Structure 1
Amino acid sequence: MKFFLAIMLVLSLYSTKQAFADHEQILVAVDHAPPYSALDEKGNAKGLILDILNYIKHHSDEDITVKAVPCPFSRCIRMLAQGEVDVMGGLVRTPARESQMSFVTPPYMALSSSYVFYGHQHSQVKVERYEDLIGKRIAIMRGAAFFPRFDKDTRLDKVEVPSERVAIDLVLKGRVDLVIAVEDTADLAMNVLAQPAHQLRKMVYRHTQVIYGHMAMSREFAQSHVGREFSNHMRQMAENKILDKLVAPYQLPAIPPQLLSEETGRMHSNTF
């Protein structure tokens, strides 16, 4: 009996050690989406999600490394859903995505902004109300989520492209009529991408809402010890205002206090 218990203890210790070993390196999907994430010509990545994860790493008891995996947005999403990477940042939470990955709360990005549509400044295209989008060719980034009415509308002619740069280029070349973008970040992004924003014209119609950007984890990583610890760190960083300091250099606002109170309420309700 003692021999059996000893064997079980050894196996348990081995399993625990192996679980930690599986996540000695956290793979982070990073797409080129300035100003919040960027890839240089050599494929080196930088950005807010890496800043957050590296902060957690330096304040964690685990001996782990954080490795960026550069990828186009749609491929990043697919890799996360398939568990080929562990983490991705800046994702809008949707039911479809929740069925494939685990979202960390609270979000670390909270923009009170508008989704707007840009066309070429010399085009005759006008969008003064939502229905004016019908019949227009609209470039959207493949795999991205915008606002529910737009996302679900099968009447619209949406042209999927791999990146924001390509979407804007198609408008400038007259191959599509419009591109959809977040107003607060579009001009800055075009400046970083060295694209001629002055050649674009903003349409009258806009959809305004609070846009939340979350860290999301693969389902396997979210269930691991390291994944759970990282989720706990995110909540603590939000409560201690550390997260606000990390997002400030990216001209992002602080996390709204009601988000923290809502999250705390959900956690307490789940304990009963």
Structure 2
Amino acid sequence: MKLLSFLIFPLTLALLPTLVQANDAINVATYIEPPFADKVNGKFVGRNIRLSKLIAKKLNKKVNFITCPMARCILMMQSGQADMIVSVLKTDEREEILTYIEPGINFQKQPISFFTLHTNKVEINSFEDLKSLIIGQVRGARYFEKFDNNNELTKVKITTRSQMIKMLLKGRIDVFIAREESIRPLIDKYNYQKLRIAQYQYLTPVTGYIAISKNSYLQQDIQKFSSIIKQIKDSGELDKVYYKKL
């Protein structure tokens, strides 16, 4: 027994630095979606990036940004490979694997739009008009309940918004769903003029949250996260950091 204890103790010490190092950083699952997150000249920029850095600083932790398409980001959060994700919608499905930090960080007022081409003779004046169309959406993204849960629509799940734009321009889909502010930075002026935003849009504002993986060591700090968000919202620091221009 003494020999066993002697062997276990050095092993524990050998593992300890790794554990301390892991608990010293926040791994943020980062989906590229300007103006929320982007990578410019090798550096991460955007609203979610600035907010993540601010929170990490207040927790006295480092921050690592892990780029991933939305679907993979969610899988990484589920497994615990990533600790945190920023500005995500709350759904029953996601609540099984994520702890949402209250209060929410933003109130998204930009409409969710449906983009088609000027050359397409497609009129989308109501939700019902979508049922005859092939609709591009980002794999793993959530938009609004009526759209997300509708099984009558023909939806094509695409990895990135850039790919979605290319598929529309090539005529491989009839329309795609997105916010205009997330599409404009991804396309040049010439090609943007080829796009047309449909009359029908989803106008109800939605709340974005910071969420923590239920398999993350940060579960022990949920109350700290909540207190930080409340404090920076009440002080105006959140708006100053989150909404300033890049």
In structure 1, what is the equivalent of residue 134 of structure 2? 137
Alignment of 1:162-201 (within 5 A): 162-182=159-179, 186=180, 188-195=181-188, 196-201=191-196
SS at match of 1:50: helix
Post-superposition shift, 1:70?
1.1
- Within 5 A, what are the aligned runs for 1:220-239? 220-221=215-216, 224-239=219-234
Match of 1:209 in 2: 204
TM-score by length of 2: 0.85
In 2 relative to 1, CA 135–222 (structure 1 residues): closer, same or farther, beyond 3 Å?
farther
1:36-87 alpha-carbon deviations (Å, 9 max, x no partner):
1002465x42222221222233333x4x211111111111111012111001
TM-score after normalising by structure 1: 0.77
2: CA distance, partners of 1:144 / 1:180: 10
1:147-195 CA-partner distances (Å, limit 9, x unpaired): 111111100000000011111111111000001112xxx1x43332134
Equivalent position SS for 1:249: coil
1:47 aligns with 2:46: yes
Deviations 1:215-262 (A, max 9, x none): 1110133754445423321121112221111122159xxxxxxxxxxx
Unaligned runs of 5+ in 1: 1-15, 252-272
Alignment length, in residue pairs?
229
Does 1:161 find its partner at 2:174? Answer: no
Name the CA distance, whole Å, in 1 between partners of 2:219 and 2:145: 32
Which SS does the other structure have where 2:114 is aligned? strand
Q: Does 2:91 correspond to 1:94?
A: yes
- Across the aligned residues of Structure 1 and Structure 2, the Cα RMSD in angstroms comes to 2.3
Change beyond 3 A, Cα 1:107–1:30: same
Distance 2:20 2:228 in 1: 17
SS of 1:206's equivalent? coil
Stretches of 4+ aligned residues off by more than 4 angstroms: 16-21
Give secondary structure in 2 for the equivalent of 1:150.
Answer: helix
* Worse-matched range after superposition: 194-203 or 87-96: 194-203
Deviation at 1:19, TM superposition (A): 7.1
Q: Which residue of 1 aligns with 2:23?
A: 23
Gaps of 5+ in 2: 1-15
Name the residue aligned to 2:35.
Answer: 35
What letter matches 2:206 in structure 1?
I
State whether structure 2 residue 66 is matched by structure 1 residue 69. yes
User: Could you tell me which residue of structure 1 aligns to residue 148 of structure 2?
Assistant: 151
Aligned residue identity for 1:100: I
Q: Distance in 1 between matches of 2:217 and 2:232?
A: 18
One-letter amino acid of the counterpart of residue 211, structure 1: V
What percent identity do the matched residue pairs reach? 24
